[in-house]
Structure 1
Amino acid sequence: MDSNLESAMQMLIKTFHKYSGKEGDKYTLSRGELKELLLEELGTYLGSSKDNEAVEKVMNDLDANNDGEVDFTEFIILMGALTVACNDFFLDEKVGKKRRSEGKEL
């Protein structure tokens, strides 16, 4: 039986490959594939915006080697950054709730 972390790693791999290869190289995400992945898989965290400019910015930020596609390593960088941002957000929320319950405002 896989641990939670092993299952999470497998899910990241499966999710990437669910979208990669629909257009062109099966081991990378094109702009269209990245946009579909972001909207379908991360809509709750990123908002359901269909803003092409936002997708373009994410693509440009991720595409470290400037080949117009996002490979698995570049995808994992995005997932790591989003995970850190979520962790920071939830920690800030926890601290804010604690301060509010103690009658202290930020």
Structure 2
Amino acid sequence: MSDKLQSLLHTPVSVSVQDCIMCSPLQNAVGDLIKVFHSYSGKEGDKYKLNKKELKIMLQQELPDFLNGTNDSFLVEKILYDLDDNKDGEVDFQEFVTLVSALAVASNKFFEDYVKEEERGNDEGH
């Protein structure tokens, strides 16, 4: 990681997420991620981590299509195992962001493939 990025990540934020009235879409997205994570974390145990039950509830409520038609318990167990870098049996915010990043990358790939397919269809139709 570059020194500039490293210093940016350690710079205190002058405006809290709640006080941000005229934030950019990206600032709002980051704030929303923080709010979503903390609305599920700490119902039981460590308030800064998601245990298996909290992770499952978060996935069911925030990403219902993600678990649709699967064995929820097995998939949640696999997700928890894959995300849990420090192997403490819970998902902290940094590990949660890994999940969100992977979903964003996969969604973007799907979008790009869809647009390319549409473009190919339009080229063939002319």
> Hey, what's the Cα distance between the residues in 1 that align with 2:27 and 2:72?
33
Aligned to 2:28: 7
**Equivalence map 1:28-43=2 (5 Å):** 28-43=49-64
Aligned to 2:104: 83
In structure 2, give the amino acid aligned to 1:36: I
CA contact (8 A) 2:67 2:75 kept: no
State, as a whole percentage, how many aligned pairs show the same letter: 50
Normalising by the residue count of structure 1, what TM-score does the alignment of the two structures yield? Answer: 0.91
> Hey, what's the Cα distance between the residues in 1 that align with 2:31 and 2:89?
25
1:30-59 CA-to-partner distances (Å, cap 9, x unmatched) read: 001001111100113x14345211111110
Q: Aligned residues, how many?
A: 103
In structure 2, give the amino acid aligned to 1:41: E
In structure 1, give the amino acid aligned to 2:28: S
CA RMSD across the alignment: 1.4
Structure 2: runs of 5+ lacking an equivalent: 1-21
> Hey, what's the Cα distance between the residues in 2 that align with 1:62 and 1:47?
16
Aligned to 1:20: 41
1:24-83 CA-to-partner distances (Å, cap 9, x unmatched) read: 100000001001111100113x14345211111110000001100000000011111110
2:96 match: secondary structure: helix
In structure 1, give the amino acid aligned to 2:116: V
Aligned to 1:48: 68
Runs of 4 or more consecutive aligned structure 1 residues displaced over 6 Å after TM superposition: none
In structure 2, give the amino acid aligned to 1:48: N
